[in-house]
A and B are shown apart, each in its own frame.
Chain A
């Protein structure tokens, strides 16, 4: 069951974390989609790296109806539409400094970016969206065959939309990098629905685990100072639907574990 990820060169964040965890004596089981607590091996605490909609669907959790009501009120944010490209050349940005940046923010002026985000949030199809573009292969040659490149991009779209943004995204990049479209060898797209199918945490393509606005920045997923705790004292939430939210930092997981250690084992831990 383990070992699946051990085939490559051990270099990445996920593999480094998992290898360290196994070294500590942890166990990993893949290919088990959890739907019912009773189907899991006998355990004392359950820690969920899941977003609220999924948590509500898992059987065997001892939640009060008022807690479930709070989880149901949790709000999702916009989704994303993502495209990956195999490219024959580096992306020919007119701005030469953009050719030396790992991330390129494509959306022109403040007014244009602000309009794109406002309209997408309001449910509209935006012709000239704010595109987050990354070109990792320029800086890490292991990503593509010799002299070839990869491109990675997404834009924010109405949650759950089925509209195909591929052309819109490619046209927007082309405005800042004329000739970009001629370098495309192949592409792969993930719309919001496909992202959710890939990882059921991304409801409607929402990659931050729920909107991170003022009402849900620290009080996520429920209005509590310790929102990692749930109404079932043996169940904790550790996903990006808890503070401090989306992104790869592991701090949600750390704080959920810290809370559980204190509640059930009397162990107090702090980071160095």
Chain B
């Protein structure tokens, strides 16, 4: 008999998630981390001056709140608390009024004027039916739970962000969209760059972009 049913190497959010999932089923597991602290992309350190706590990697957590896995855990009981800003994100412009992403969908739509309708058509379904969509998108490809919903999301998500941008009329909406899609870390003319934009905006309306109190890791 092996000492451990499983050894997990690396204690980033995914290593922790795998370790927790196996341990929850009664397996015996060991999580091994190279660094002197756990957390991977979830560490907070005094990188500049004493008393200033900087998130070394991740800082803002749109996907943590939107993750079916994270939501299944009793993390508040283990001290996690989130805070939120007045606006999830702002996209200032130099020559005219910029745009914001607010948790409030209607407020976000209102500021976009003529483009509000298109914005709603991109986002509303994803906001309303995130739980089902998350099951079909936040994992491996498989037969979808709701093929029609997935198809109606997917045909837009697969498009280059630049195509969708060309359908917006106002610079404000185009810019807001660009900033969201650019989280995909690739040219906005690439296929599927709309997916990340749609998801980030929709989970912003649904759950907010969470800021963990104390940093991604409260470690002194």
Chain A residues in contact with chain B, CB under 8 A?
4-5, 7-21, 23-34, 40-50, 77-78, 80, 84-86, 93-95, 97-98, 100-110, 113-114, 117-118, 121, 130, 132, 134, 136, 138-140, 142-145, 148, 150, 152, 156, 175-176, 185-188, 190, 198-201, 206-208, 211-214, 217-219, 225-228, 236, 238-240, 243-244, 247-258, 260-261, 265, 267, 269, 271-272
Contacts and interface: CB of A to CB of B under 8 A. Distances in A.
A130 B56 CA distance: 19
Contact of B6 (A25, A47, A106, A139): A47
Nearest to B65: A249
B115 to A, nearest CB: 12
B19 interface: yes
Given A30-B38, A113-B188, A142-B53, 15 more contacts: A10-B78, A11-B81, A23-B78, A44-B4, A49-B12, A101-B87, A105-B90, A110-B171, A113-B178, A201-B40, A218-B141, A247-B63, A248-B61, A253-B20, A257-B17
Interface in B11-49: 11-25, 27-44, 47-49
Select the residue from B8, B18, B70 with max chain A CB neighbours within 10 A.
B18
Contacts of A258: 21
B5 A214 contact: no
A17 B75 contact: yes
B64 interface: yes
B40 A49 contact: yes
Nearest first, the 5 closest Cβ-Cβ pairs linking A and B are A49-B10, A253-B17, A105-B179, A250-B17, A49-B15
B174 interface: yes
B158 interface: yes
A200 B10 CA distance: 10
A4 B36 contact: yes
B209 interface: yes
Contact of B18 (A23, A30, A49, A145): A49
Contact of A12 (B66, B69, B70, B215): B215
A249 B12 CA distance: 10
Given A107-B178, A156-B185, A102 B214 contact: no
Contacts of A148: 51-52
B69 A250 contact: yes
A51 B120 CA distance: 37
B116 interface: no
Contacts, number: 479
B16 A250 contact: yes
Contacts of B64: 13, 248-249
Given A4-B37, A86-B48, A140-B214, A49 B42 contact: no
Select the residue from B41, B66, B158 with max chain A CB neighbours within 10 A.
B41
B192 to A, nearest CB: 5
A105 B212 contact: no
A103 B10 contact: no
B32 A29 contact: yes
Contact of B219 (A7, A227, A261): A7
Nearest to B158: A214
B13 A248 contact: yes
A72 to B, nearest CB: 20
Select the residue from B10, B61, B73, B174 with max chain A CB neighbours within 10 A.
B10
Given A243-B139, A250-B17, A134 B73 contact: no
Contact of A11 (B5, B192, B214): B214
B148 interface: no
A191 to B, nearest CB: 14
A78 B182 CA distance: 12
A108 B62 CA distance: 22
Contacts of B58: 247-248
Given A97-B98, A240-B14, A45 B5 contact: yes
